[in-house]
């Protein structure tokens, strides 16, 4: 591993200064979203905070020469050093857009350039070396489900799974912080929708939906009363009237007619525990 700007802490007066590290790529909107979120949400005191851009780029394997590209392992030290210096300059210029946005927010910024093929492992190695306690990483929306399942092998997945407890990892998707509990609830809601709705309503363009709809219709015919399966069928209104009368006798009025105000009890207050548990306000 070749690490550039490793002595940033020696050259920067960091006594009492808040440090926030943002993993960025050379291109892509996810890194820009993560940095923008950091500047807006994670920087409390702009005059007392430094944002470090952590960029890991692939190892240099060949160097140009008069004889063509040579393996860097067979090149002399000066030629290899020149190639690495040129690559570092190129990578630094690609990060200028990130530095510009930090400057626009009037926040100090520095860069950490690392030459290594293993991005996540490299950042994990930097955490104890640089005493990183705040790390921000961007992720694409398409990778959110794998993030929650703990089965993904992406950069954000590995950092979230393997980062030490001393380092708080923030995952940003499309400019918003990802709350893992929210992903779990969305996944459960999607699974429940797939179980309850016919395939044509879940995914009408999916191959085999017509056959699955036929099977689902047969299953509903066996499990549900006829007036629910086919409300237009003769006799359905009469069945519905009988069922409504039965519900009125067996169920409390506020369940039979949800629009009707619920009865107030004098001492014991009715609490809807389902709503409280499923729609608990998200902490800021």
User: Are 11 and 121 within one domain?
Assistant: yes
User: Are 237 and 103 within one domain?
Assistant: no
Q: Which of these three, 145, 179, 213, is where a domain ends?
A: 179
Q: What is the structure's pLDDT at 223?
A: 52
User: Are 167 and 221 within one domain?
Assistant: no
Q: What is the structure's pLDDT at 76?
A: 84
Which CATH number characterizes residue 64's domain?
3.40.50.620
Q: What is the structure's pLDDT at 163?
A: 94
Residue 26 pairs with which residues in a beta bridge? Answer: none
User: Are 117 and 47 within one domain?
Assistant: yes
Q: Residues 114-149: pLDDT tens digits?
A: 999 999 999 999 999 999 999 999 999 888 777 766
- Supply the angle between the helices 96-104 and 29-37 in degrees, to the nearest 10: 20
Which DSSP symbol is given to 280?
P
Q: What is the structure's pLDDT at 245?
A: 66
User: Which of 160, 135, 119 lies closest to 25, judged by CA?
Assistant: 119
Q: What is the structure's pLDDT at 241?
A: 66
Q: What is the structure's pLDDT at 53?
A: 97
User: Are 9 and 134 within one domain?
Assistant: yes
Give pLDDT < 70 ranges for the chain: 1-15, 148-152, 181-284
User: Are 214 and 165 within one domain?
Assistant: no
Q: What is the structure's pLDDT at 22?
A: 97
Residue 135 pairs with which residues in a beta bridge? Answer: 21, 169
Q: What is the structure's pLDDT at 129?
A: 94
Q: Which two tokens stand for residue 209?
A: 């939906």
User: Are 202 and 102 within one domain?
Assistant: no
Number of separate domains in the chain = 2
CA atoms within 13 A on the CB side of 36: 10
Range of the domain at 214: 197-264
Q: What is the structure's pLDDT at 66?
A: 76
Q: What is the structure's pLDDT at 144?
A: 79
């Amino acid at each position: 591993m070749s690490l550039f700007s490793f002595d940033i802490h020696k050259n920067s007066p960091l006594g009492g200064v808040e440090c926030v590290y943002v993993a960025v790529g050379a291109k892509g909107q996810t890194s820009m979203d993560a940095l923008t979120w950091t500047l807006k949400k994670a920087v409390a005191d702009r005059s007392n905070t430094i944002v470090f851009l952590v960029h890991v780029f692939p190892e240099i394997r060949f160097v140009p020469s008069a004889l063509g590209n040579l393996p860097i392992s067979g090149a002399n030290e000066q030629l290899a050093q020149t190639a690495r210096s040129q690559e570092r300059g190129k990578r630094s210029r690609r990060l200028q857009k990130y530095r510009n946005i930090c400057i626009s927010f009037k926040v100090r910024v520095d860069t950490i350039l690392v030459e290594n093929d293993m991005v996540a492992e490299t950042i994990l190695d930097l955490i104890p070396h640089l005493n990183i306690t705040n790390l921000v990483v961007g992720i694409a929306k398409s990778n959110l489900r794998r993030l929650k399942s703990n089965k993904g092998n992406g950069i954000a997945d590995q950092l979230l799974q393997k980062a030490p407890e001393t380092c708080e990892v923030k995952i940003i998707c499309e400019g918003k912080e990802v709350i893992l509990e929210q992903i779990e609830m969305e996944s459960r809601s999607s699974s429940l929708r797939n179980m309850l709705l016919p395939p044509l309503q879940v995914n009408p363009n999916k191959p085999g939906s017509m056959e699955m709809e036929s099977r689902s219709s047969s299953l509903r015919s066996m499990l549900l009363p006829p007036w629910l399966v086919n409300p237009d069928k003769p006799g359905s209104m009469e069945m519905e009237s009988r069922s409504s009368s039965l519900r009125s006798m067996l169920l409390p009025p506020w369940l039979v007619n949800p629009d009707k105000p619920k009865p107030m009890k004098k001492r014991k207050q009715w609490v809807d525990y389902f709503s409280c548990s499923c729609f608990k306000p998200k902490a800021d």
